[in-house]
């Protein structure tokens, strides 16, 4: 195990919705050693029939004082989701801290545009929380969240009164989300020089939205933080 590798211990789990499960862990020294930043994610290692699979998950409610955090699993058929559904207190899982970084843009953006889905809600909430603490606090958020399960829109998104969140059902392999977002992000609504864009949805949808921002609107890449969180 290297300096960035940790063994987490499951302490319990909690159903947020039938398709969104929170797993609580002891951090094995991770938070003290690595620090915390908004949208912080780790690589979890899952064993499936002797083969190791790595999957990214976002820290929820990290607390260095107690050495604990949680992770929210958007459920589907995959090794990570299956592991979460059966994780028992006392169970260990290996994690690596590598590749995660984020700093809020300075000066504070005029508006923050966000695109995501349940897999990126933990990161979006950490962004919203951080916004209250830094100068970006004044920037309203406009967010589009794609969903596949009826209960998804009940998942907490920690918005302020100035924010707007629109839930879009996943249709036509994500094309419905891409059309809605790209139709709303135009030269009339966006300030290319002053706005910030955070995009973390399915990989091909993420690519299409970033292409629209860069090619159609001419947004500088430094004003965009985008990563495909999962792929079909």
Ligand X SMILES: Cc1cc2nc3c(=O)[nH]c(=O)nc-3n(C[C@H](O)[C@H](O)[C@H](O)COP(=O)(O)OP(=O)(O)OC[C@H]3O[C@@H](n4cnc5c(N)ncnc54)[C@H](O)[C@@H]3O)c2cc1C
Three-state SS for 21-79 is EEEEEECCCHHHHHCCCCCCEEEEEEEECCEEEEEEEECEEEECCCCEEEEEEECCCCH
- Residue 201 engages ligand X in binding (rule: CB under 6 A): no
Query: Which range binds ligand X by CB under 6 A, 9-17, 75-83, 134-142, 214-222?
Result: 75-83
Residue 98 neighbours by CB distance under 10 Å: 13
From the CB of 98, what's the least distance to ligand X, in Å?
11
Q: Which is nearer to ligand X, 44 or 219 (CB)?
A: 44
- Residue 196 engages ligand X in binding (rule: CB under 6 A): no
Query: CB of 159 within 8 A of CB of 141?
Result: yes
For residue 107, say if its preceding peptide bond is cis, omega within 30 degrees of 0: yes
- Residue 73 engages ligand X in binding (rule: CB under 6 A): yes
Q: Which is nearer to ligand X, 113 or 230 (CB)?
A: 230
Closest residue (Cβ) to ligand X? 78
- Residue 198 engages ligand X in binding (rule: CB under 6 A): no
Strand order in the sheet with 141-147: 164-169, 141-147, 112-116, 196-199, 224-226
- Residue 142 engages ligand X in binding (rule: CB under 6 A): no
Site string for ligand X, 27-66 (x = CB under 6 A): --------------x-------------xxxx--------
Residue 99 neighbours by CB distance under 10 Å: 11
- Residue 147 engages ligand X in binding (rule: CB under 6 A): no
Can you tell me the distance from the alpha carbon of 161 to that of 228, in angstroms, rounded to the nearest whole number?
Answer: 28
Among 80, 127, 209, 213, binds ligand X (CB under 6 A): 80
Binding site for ligand X (CB under 6 A): 41, 55-58, 71-74, 76-81, 119, 122, 227, 229-232
């Amino acid at each position: 195990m290297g300096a960035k590798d940790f063994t987490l211990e499951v302490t319990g789990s909690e159903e947020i919705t039938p398709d969104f499960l929170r797993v609580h862990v002891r951090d094995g020294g991770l938070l003290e050693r690595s620090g915390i930043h908004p949208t912080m994610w780790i690589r979890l290692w899952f064993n499936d029939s002797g083969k190791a699979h790595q999957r990214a998950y976002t820290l929820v409610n990290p607390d260095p004082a107690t050495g604990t955090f949680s992770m929210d699993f958007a459920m589907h058929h995959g090794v990570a989701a299956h592991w979460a559904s059966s994780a028992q207190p006392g169970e260990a899982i290996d994690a690596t801290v590598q590749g995660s970084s984020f700093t809020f843009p300075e000066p504070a953006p005029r508006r923050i545009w966000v695109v995501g889905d349940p897999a990126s809600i933990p990161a979006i909430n950490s962004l919203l929380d951080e916004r209250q603490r830094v100068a970006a606090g004044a920037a309203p958020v406009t967010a589009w969240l794609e969903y596949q399960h009826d209960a998804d829109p009940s998942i907490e998104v920690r918005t302020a009164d100035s924010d707007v969140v629109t839930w879009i059902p996943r249709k036509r392999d994500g094309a419905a989300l891409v059309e809605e977002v790209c139709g709303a992000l135009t030269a009339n609504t966006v300030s290319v020089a002053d706005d910030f864009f955070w995009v973390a949805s399915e990989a091909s949808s993420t690519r299409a939205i970033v292409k629209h921002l860069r090619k159609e609107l001419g947004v500088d890449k430094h004003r965009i933080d985008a990563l495909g969180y999962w792929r079909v």
